């Protein structure tokens, strides 16, 4: 039960931080309105001779700067096996959360909605543990046993946080004796 309270506390802190971010990022100085650009004449398109074969091969045109040459666009790298597993876990979790959210819209009493919201939070936390487990498994398969053990220890610590330790030092009495 205490781990559930800890998770709720963490989720509340994250939610507050996310709500405060747009406020903190906002520019405190008022800005004057900007006039929209005039639509008087369309811009002249320069006559650029680009080879069609280069376009199909992924070469992009950029004006050379200080003798630099035009470089081909970087090819998109395929996902690693670990990322494929993580993407699948996230997709499954997102589908489960969406189903629960849909279910929440169909109930009328607040107690049922609250219970469904708790299930959504539990589903999201389970997805995080699944992702950490995937990372630990892949670390172990790469031979990085230390990283795998550290990830698993972190999971265990999150699931079973240590009990708070009582203060052992005695506090001094106030100067006025109260």
pTM of the full predicted structure? 0.51
Three-state DSSP class for residue 72 = strand
**Number of residues in the chain:** 178
pLDDT of residue 45: 56
Q: How many CB atoms neighbour CB 80 within 10 A?
A: 10
Helical pair 110-141 and 81-106, crossing angle rounded to 10 deg: 170
**Residue 60 included in any domain:** no
- Calculate mean pLDDT across residues 53-57: 62
Helical pair 110-141 and 2-25, crossing angle rounded to 10 deg: 90
The DSSP H or E segment spanning 111 is helix 110-141
**Residue 145 included in any domain:** yes
Residue-wise burial string across 82-93, b where 16 or more C-beta atoms lie within 10 A, e elsewhere: beebbeebeeeb
**Residue 40 included in any domain:** no
pLDDT of residue 121: 93
Looking at per-residue pLDDT, the higher value among 114 and 15 belongs to 114
Evaluate if residue 28 carries a pLDDT over 80. Answer: no
**Residue 10 included in any domain:** no
Both structure tokens of 66: 């200080």
Q: How many CB atoms neighbour CB 131 within 10 A?
A: 16
Domain count, the chain: 1
**Residue 97 included in any domain:** yes
Question: In DSSP terms, which residues pair with 59 in a beta bridge?
Answer: 72
Return d(Cα 79, Cα 87) in angstroms, integer. Answer: 10
Residue 153, domain extent: 79-159
Evaluate if residue 151 carries a pLDDT over 90. Answer: yes
Return d(Cα 89, Cα 129) in angstroms, integer. Answer: 10
- Calculate mean pLDDT across residues 43-67: 58
């Amino acid at each position: 039960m205490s781990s559930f309270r800890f998770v709720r506390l963490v989720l509340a802190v994250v939610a507050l931080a996310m709500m405060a971010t747009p406020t903190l990022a906002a520019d405190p100085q008022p800005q004057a309105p900007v006039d929209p650009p005039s639509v008087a004449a369309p811009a002249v398109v320069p006559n650029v001779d680009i080879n069609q074969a280069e376009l199909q091969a992924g070469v992009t045109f950029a004006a050379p700067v200080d003798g630099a040459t035009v470089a081909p666009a970087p090819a998109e790298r395929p996902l690693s096996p670990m990322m494929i597993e993580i993407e699948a876990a996230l997709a499954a979790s997102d589908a489960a959360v969406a189903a629960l959210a849909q279910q929440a819209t169909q109930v009328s009493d607040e107690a049922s909605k609250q219970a469904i919201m708790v299930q959504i939070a539990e589903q999201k936390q389970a997805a995080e543990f699944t992702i950490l487990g995937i990372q630990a498994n892949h670390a172990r398969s790469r031979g990085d046993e230390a990283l795998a053990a550290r990830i698993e220890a972190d999971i265990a610590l999150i699931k079973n946080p240590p009990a708070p330790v009582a203060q052992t030092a005695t506090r001094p009495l106030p100067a006025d004796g109260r």
